[in-house]
Amino acid sequence: MAFMVSFGWILKPEDFEIGLDVFLTDIKRIPPSSVDPIIKNYHWMDLVTGMLDAYQQGHQTAILVDENINISEGAGFNIFTVDQSGISTH
């Protein structure tokens, strides 16, 4: 079985220059040791809780942390950094 979901933007095109107002929440993203990452996409309670936390603080969305308090991901987006050593992601 397969299904396709059209690509969706988190930001409206006119907001690309402004950026996204994110809140770094202390809500932890469910770890791969708890739920197999192949099906983890269907487990969003932690992401929804993080987003509600962000909304209550006046932000547009949240970034969750992992079980070691490292930046993890947000609802519908991944986080990566670019520095002199290259591109890194969690």
pLDDT one-digit tens code per residue, 58-81: 999 999 999 999 888 898 888 888
Q: Which two tokens stand for residue 3?
A: 């299904």
Of 59, 15, 12, 85, give the one whose Cα is nearest residue 25: 59
Question: Domain segments of the chain: what residues?
Answer: 19-77
In terms of pTM, does the model score above 0.85? Answer: no
Check: CB of residue 28 under 8 Å from CB of residue 66: yes
Q: Look at the chain and count its residues.
A: 90
pLDDT tens for 32-48 read: 888 887 776 677 899 99
Neighbour order of strands in the sheet with 22-28: 22-28, 61-65, 71-74, 77-78
